[in-house]
Amino acid sequence: MLKKQRNLTEKCKKSFIGWKLPHTYVILTIILLVVVGLTYIIPGGEYDRVIDPANGKTIVLPDSFHFGEGNRPDFFDIFLSVSRG
């Protein structure tokens, strides 16, 4: 059993030779740039909200969606977003 497990481990190591996972900051930077790029493609919008008199909670009106301007980040906002987050 141990020999089969060792052979399987060797096969897995051979299949991943030459491929290395990038650093965590590289992955986070790529995700950040993709999300910032999507803010220019996907339009922003919002639903209207009202306070429910029965329980005092804020609820969303189902058919009240409308597009808005939204806040698109500037070039320098990309670098500041990590520290602000």
pLDDT tens digit string along 53-77? 999 999 999 999 999 887 777 878 8
- Residue type for position 21: L
CA–CA separation, 58 vs 80, rounded Å? 32
Q: Is the pTM of this model over 0.95?
A: no
Greater pLDDT, 22 or 12 = 22
| In the chain, where the domains are located | 21-84
Sign for the CA dihedral angle at 25, 79, 75, 68 comes to: positive
Place of tokens 């993709």: 34
Instruction: Please give the pLDDT value at position 70.
Output: 73
Residues 6+ apart with CB under 8 A from 68: 44, 45, 46
